[in-house]
């Protein structure tokens, strides 16, 4: 690769292209940030979903950063082929992953791929959603940046009336949410007007000991938010498996944005939710009945906690509050591309050999 002037193309906006390998359910890590950043005059932000990756045409000398969202390669040959092509076309390459690679493989029911970890060493930088994930990825690549999951729009805090409804919507959470659903028999018997809405997880829906329930298959992100916003209480259980500790608090953010109270497990959520103030923490399986009773019994307390969570999102977790930091990081990657590329090729000799050839 030829040396480049760090100021070359500085009169042009940086082309930020996000290429999403995952076809659904990761809008807050790829599509929505890309759309939000289109308003920044220093960036030309674009998004594409699905494979194969098609590199956008760029004018000569234009700065350009490619974000590969949750890329998966089943073989080293495919990984090297893709990255050789991308690097040969002059892109600075970033991987965005917001879950632990071993946990992703487990939840997808597949064996660990030989590239699940090495791929992070074969790019210029990594961006992720939590400090725990950043620490894990730094074993492969020193250039790691944390951008917390965030909220992209904030509707007015809602005024609610009528019988309370409870929401559950998640994927790949194992059997524990089913156990939680089944454990609610007594509280639902004592609160027979309470209704449930479940998205995606049929096993949870079937386990709920009530006839007042509605099921939706997997929805688009916007449709999921709309259904969630029509409820009063959101359940977000995690059993506490090792890989779950690396997950983010996105489900809490989705609910808080909509003025919905979250009851959650301490894994992940205890770092964000102030128990009794911005939500409720259910420490073990028996706690879900107790915390749901509290939420159903006292509507004023429930709304006060939901409002405090809504305020927290408005003050600390809006995407607009991190947009400038994202832009500046991408610009710094381009400015430092020569040093980053040297380090990358030193970490990945097979990739360096292909580029030289």
For the chain, give every domain's residue range: 14-150+319-356, 165-316
| Residue 2 confidence (pLDDT) | 32
Residue 1 confidence (pLDDT) above 50: no
Element (H, E) at 167: strand 165-169
Q: What percent of the chain has pLDDT over 90?
A: 89
Secondary structure (3-state) at 69: strand
Out of 138-142, 154-158, 241-245, least confident range: 241-245
Helix axes 287-297, 299-316, angle to 10 degrees: 100
What homologous superfamily is domain 165-316 in, according to CATH?
Answer: Glycogen Phosphorylase B; (3.40.50.2000)
What contacts 14, CB < 8 A, 6 or more positions away? 42, 43, 44, 62, 63, 64, 65, 330, 331, 334
Residue 123 backbone dihedrals phi, psi, to 5 degrees: -130, 170
Are 14-150+319-356 and 165-316 in the same CATH fold? yes
Instruction: Name the pTM for this structure.
Output: 0.93
Q: What is the pLDDT of residues 216-244, one digit of tens each?
A: 999 999 999 999 999 999 999 999 988 89
| Residue 11 confidence (pLDDT) | 80
Average pLDDT over residues 84-92: 97
What contacts 83, CB < 8 A, 6 or more positions away? 93, 122, 123, 351
Residue 33 confidence (pLDDT) above 70: yes
Average pLDDT over residues 328-334: 98
Alpha-helix residue ranges (DSSP H) falling in 113-157? 131-137
Q: How far apart are CA 140 and CA 156, in angstroms?
A: 43
Domain 14-150+319-356 listed as CATH 3.40.50: yes
Q: What is the pLDDT of residues 34-84, one digit of tens each?
A: 999 999 999 999 999 988 889 999 999 999 999 999 999 999 999 999 999
Contact, 274 vs 252, CB < 8 A?
no
| Residue 10 confidence (pLDDT) | 54
Q: What is the pLDDT of residues 196-221, one digit of tens each?
A: 999 999 999 999 999 999 999 999 99
């Amino acid at each position: 690769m030829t040396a480049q002037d760090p100021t070359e193309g500085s009169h042009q906006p940086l082309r930020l292209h996000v290429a999403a390998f995952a076809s659904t359910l990761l809008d807050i890590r790829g599509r929505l940030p890309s759309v939000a950043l289109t308003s920044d005059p220093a960036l030309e932000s674009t998004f594409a979903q699905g494979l194969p990756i098609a590199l956008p045409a760029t004018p000569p000398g234009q700065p350009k950063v490619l974000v590969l969202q949750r890329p998966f390669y089943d073989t080293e040959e495919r990984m090297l082929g893709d990255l050789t092509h991308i690097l040969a076309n002059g892109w600075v390459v970033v991987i965005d992953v917001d879950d632990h690679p071993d946990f992703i493989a487990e939840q997808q029911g597949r064996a660990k791929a030989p590239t699940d970890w090495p791929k992070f060493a074969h790019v210029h930088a990594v961006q992720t959603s939590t400090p725990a994930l950043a620490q894990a990825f730094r074993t492969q690549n020193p250039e790691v940046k944390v951008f917390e999951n965030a909220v992209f729009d904030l509707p007015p805090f809602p005024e609610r009336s009528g019988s309370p409804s409870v929401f559950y919507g998640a994927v790949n959470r194992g059997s524990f949410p089913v156990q939680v659903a089944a454990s609610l028999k007594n509280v639902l018997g004592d609160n027979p007007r309470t209704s449930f809405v479940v998205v995606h997880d049929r096993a949870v829906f079937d386990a709920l000991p009530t006839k007042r329930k509605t099921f939706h298959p997997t929805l688009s992100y916007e449709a999921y938010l709309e259904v969630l916003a029509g409820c009063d209480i959101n359940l977000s259980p995690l059993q506490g498996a090792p890989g779950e500790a690396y997950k983010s608090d996105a489900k809490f953010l989705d609910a808080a944005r909509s003025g919905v109270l979250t009851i959650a497990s301490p894994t992940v959520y205890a770092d964000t939710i102030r128990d009794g103030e911005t939500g409720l923490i259910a420490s073990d399986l028996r706690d879900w009945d107790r915390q749901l009773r509290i939420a159903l019994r006292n509507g004023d307390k429930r709304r006060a906690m939901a409002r405090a969570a809504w305020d927290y999102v408005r003050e600390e977790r809006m995407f607009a509050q991190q947009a400038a930091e994202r832009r500046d990081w991408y610009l710094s990657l381009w400015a430092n591309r020569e040093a980053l590329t040297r380090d990358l090729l030193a970490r990945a000799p097979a990739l360096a050999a292909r580029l030289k050839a």
